[in-house]
Amino acid sequence: MKKHLLQDKLESSSRRGFIKSTGALSGALVIGFQLPEAGAQTAAGPVLTNAWVKVDSKGAVTLICHRSEMGQGVYTSMPMLVAEELGVPLSAVKIEMAPSAPIYINAMLGGQITGGSTSVRDAWTKLREAGASARAVLVAAAADTWKVSADECTVANGVVMHKSGKKLAYGALVAKASTMKAPEKVVLKDQKDWTIIGINKPRIDTPSKVYGKAQFGIDVKKPGMLVASLVQAPVIGGKVVKFNDAKAKAVNGVVAVVQIPDGIAVLAKDFYIAKKGRDALEVEWDNGPNADLDNQAIEAQLRTASVNAGAVMRKDGTGIADMDKAASKIEAEYELPFLAHATLEPVNCTAEFINGECHITGPIQFQQGAQYGVAAAINMPPEKVFIHTTFLGGGYGRKLELDFQIQA
């Protein structure tokens, strides 16, 4: 997938546009941007059409989390931002993983990407404003009900209170609030009033992982699903010259052997049969331009690059010149190996076709890249490709890559 293919599709949204956008869905108060038609109701279940926060008539709060949880804690930090401004306990916020949509772009990285320690920095204002906007509308609904000024109302634990002693829970206000316009500007809480942000809180996702309820990509099971085990070139950039699949097909339970652009897939009803068939393949490889690449070659490339003039990213003061004038100098050389971003959860992905749509489910760090990459690979419109992100058993940037979604 060419870089411009994704970037041309991504739409930027202004801070003002975020505050102004509001809508209603199924009796729920919806605060945030509207998503494209790809986020409509489908036979597979509801695909929410709000961007960030949903409050239903029972007062339940849902955060549509737009960053992948891979152990770094976004399923806790993101709800903290919303809960603080909305005025609800952290434990009251439930999480749904966001679909692929332009609104979820990471402005620091240029796509719907989880990486680079940017999640909280990118979401800091967005999610706090989402919570504050929802709070403002709910307060306005209560004030209108009581015929008082909104300035006379406060919130705590999902309840709007008036100085007269009147109280209304958020759920009781949703019907009225969903018909009201969100404010163009919101007031964020002062740091001195924070009760959630900056306070040590238990991880929200810990219980589901301790009790084995959390679903990682490798846990996904679909009716009639086949499992593919892939053999790929031992060197990046390598290609299949020829292969003999007779022994693989002879393995009891192997359903098919399929050549894909970067390898060969053996399909069976379970992993062990598929792996047995894969191990029986006879493949001749052309290892391509990286055939002789090893640690020594990489080190030589780095040493050559280190003596060439590079781009200056930042220059402060006269440090280099001062060091050249130093009376004594200490020189040391440190080396780090070229490391693989090997994750505890193996790279995996599930692809399913439903009513002319392709649904991709797995441990994905780059949702829009996956959407457009898969669409290009199978010649489908991107709006017909839906991304469903599970928990990631480690990411480290490896699951930013698009190879495994396209292979699936």
Q: Is 50 found in the same domain as 78? A: yes
Instruction: Convert the pLDDT of each residue in 249-261 to its tens digit.
Output: 999 999 999 999 8
CA dihedral sign, ordered 104, 106, 110, 114: negative
Q: In 3D, which of 397, 314, 368, 388 has the Cα closest to residue 45?
A: 388
Q: Is 65 found in the same domain as 32? A: yes
Q: What does the pLDDT read at residue 310?
A: 83
143 domain-assigned? yes
Q: What does the pLDDT read at residue 222?
A: 95
Instruction: Convert the pLDDT of each residue in 359-405 to its tens digit.
Output: 999 999 999 999 999 999 999 999 999 999 999 999 999 999 999 99
pLDDT band at residue 37, thresholds of 50, 70 and 90? Answer: very low
Q: What does the pLDDT read at residue 231?
A: 97
Q: Is 229 found in the same domain as 199? A: no
pLDDT band at residue 50, thresholds of 50, 70 and 90? Answer: low
Q: Is 285 found in the same domain as 188? A: no
Out of 302, 326, 357, pick the residue that ends a domain.
302
Let me know: does 264 contact 253? Beta carbons within 8 Å.
no
108 domain-assigned? yes
**Helix, strand or coil for residue 70?**
coil
Q: Is 158 found in the same domain as 81? A: yes
What gap in Å lies between CA 116 and CA 164, rounded to an integer?
49
314 domain-assigned? no
Q: In this structure, what token pair is assigned to residue 397?
A: 């940037």
Share of the chain above pLDDT 70, in %: 88
138 domain-assigned? yes
Q: Is 195 found in the same domain as 58? A: yes
**CATH number, domain at 44?**
3.30.365.10
pLDDT band at residue 8, thresholds of 50, 70 and 90? Answer: very low
Please state the rounded mean pLDDT for residues 279-289: 96
Instruction: Convert the pLDDT of each residue in 123-146 to its tens digit.
Output: 999 999 999 999 999 999 999 999
The CA dihedral of 169, 171, 176, 179, to the nearest 10 degrees, is 130
Q: Is 201 found in the same domain as 230? A: no
Q: Is 180 found in the same domain as 289? A: no
141 domain-assigned? yes
22 domain-assigned? yes
Q: In this structure, what token pair is assigned to residue 313?
A: 């990213």
pLDDT band at residue 51, thresholds of 50, 70 and 90? Answer: confident
Q: Is 125 found in the same domain as 243? A: no
Q: Is 231 found in the same domain as 152? A: no
Asked whether residue 311 carries a pLDDT value surpassing 70, the answer given is yes
Out of 302, 337, 363, pick the residue that ends a domain.
302
Q: What does the pLDDT read at residue 57?
A: 87
Supply angle C-alpha 354, 358, 364, rounded to 5: 130
Please state the rounded mean pLDDT for residues 267-293: 96
Q: Is 194 found in the same domain as 137? A: yes
Out of 236, 268, 302, pick the residue that ends a domain.
302
The larger pLDDT score, comparing residue 10 to residue 69, is at 69
The larger pLDDT score, comparing residue 230 to residue 322, is at 230
Asked whether residue 324 carries a pLDDT value surpassing 90, the answer given is no
Q: In 3D, which of 129, 124, 141, 21 has the Cα closest to residue 74?
A: 124
What gap in Å lies between CA 136 and CA 130, rounded to an integer?
10
pLDDT band at residue 106, thresholds of 50, 70 and 90? Answer: very high
Asked whether residue 54 carries a pLDDT value surpassing 80, the answer given is yes
* Residue 314: count of CB within 10 angstroms of its CB: 4
Q: Is 193 found in the same domain as 236? A: no
**CATH number, domain at 250?**
3.90.1170.50
313 domain-assigned? no
83 domain-assigned? yes
Query: What are the phi and psi torsion angles at 180 (to 5°)?
Result: -100, 155
Alpha-helical segments (H) within 36-99: 74-86
Please state the rounded mean pLDDT for residues 60-72: 96
Alpha-helical segments (H) within 147-223: 170-177, 206-210
Instruction: Give the chain's domain count.
Output: 2
Please state the rounded mean pLDDT for residues 241-270: 97
Instruction: Convert the pLDDT of each residue in 330-359 to its tens digit.
Output: 989 888 887 888 999 999 999 999 999 999
pTM of the model: 0.83
Instruction: Convert the pLDDT of each residue in 140-196 to its tens digit.
Output: 999 999 999 999 999 999 999 999 999 999 999 998 998 888 888 999 999 999 999
Let me know: does 25 contact 50? Beta carbons within 8 Å.
yes
Supply angle C-alpha 97, 130, 170, rounded to 5: 95
Domain that holds residue 18: 1-212
What is the amino acid identity at position 312? Answer: V
Asked whether residue 47 carries a pLDDT value surpassing 50, the answer given is no
Q: What does the pLDDT read at residue 282?
A: 98
